[in-house]
Amino acid sequence: MVQSMNTNNGTFPVMRVLPLRVLLLAALLPALAAAQDDGPDNTIHALTTLHEDGTKTVTITDPEKHTSEASTYDARDKLLEKIVYALDDQGQTATGVVYTAAGRPVFKTAYKRDDLNRITEEDDYTMDDQLIRRFVYEFRPDGKVARIRAFDSQGNELQASDARKDPQQSLPRVH
């Protein structure tokens, strides 16, 4: 079930169930943390990820432009959402803008990393920089995501969730 939260910049979903993009990011964390470039590689990379619910995400990464675009489609290939990420100098996700299927920007994201270069937090903001919610990633000793905690803009926990334990969710390296 999804509730909505009204702000002066529009209506944003308040998730009772973690959104697909958060679960996808959690599945990508080990691959992203382990990714090390062996040298300059300005090749554009494309990756298609098929999800259990019949949706798919196509990610196109352009190292030269320091961008990565992830477009999620339903089972009929209708665009559901697009996220455009800015990449840092190491090719890692730094920030992003989430767009509707119609191309309207909905909100921005910013990522925090730990000393092991794992994404430990995602902060979502309105387009005018007001905090909407935070997702905090907790890791097991083996480095895999153990739990994702969601908080609203006032710091109230919305939902705690065990990370998905689907071995098929292990994704290749994103450049």
- The predicted-structure confidence for 3-12, as pLDDT tens digits, reads as follows 334 334 444 4
Work out the average pLDDT over 113-133. Answer: 94
Q: Which conformational region is residue 146 in: left (phi greater than 0), alpha (psi within -120 to 50 degrees), or beta?
A: alpha
Query: Is the predicted pLDDT of residue 139 greater than 80, yes or no?
Result: yes
Q: What is the mean pLDDT of residues 123-147?
A: 94
Q: Distance (Å, rounded) from C-alpha 66 to C-alpha 31?
A: 18
In a domain, 115, yes or no: yes
- Domain presence at residue 175: no
Position 32 pLDDT exceeds 50 = no
Q: Is residue 13 part of a domain?
A: yes
The Cβ-side half-sphere exposure at 173, using a 13 Å CA radius, reads 9
In-domain check, residue 68 = yes
Predicted local confidence at residue 24, as pLDDT: 53
In a domain, 174, yes or no: no
For residue range 70-110, what is the model confidence (pLDDT) as tens digits? 999 999 999 999 999 999 988 889 999 999 999 999 999 99
Predicted model pTM: 0.68
Pick the more confident residue, 85 or 28.
Answer: 85
Q: Is residue 35 in some structural domain? A: yes
pLDDT band at residue 159 using 50, 70 and 90 as cut-offs: low
- Total domains in the chain come to 1
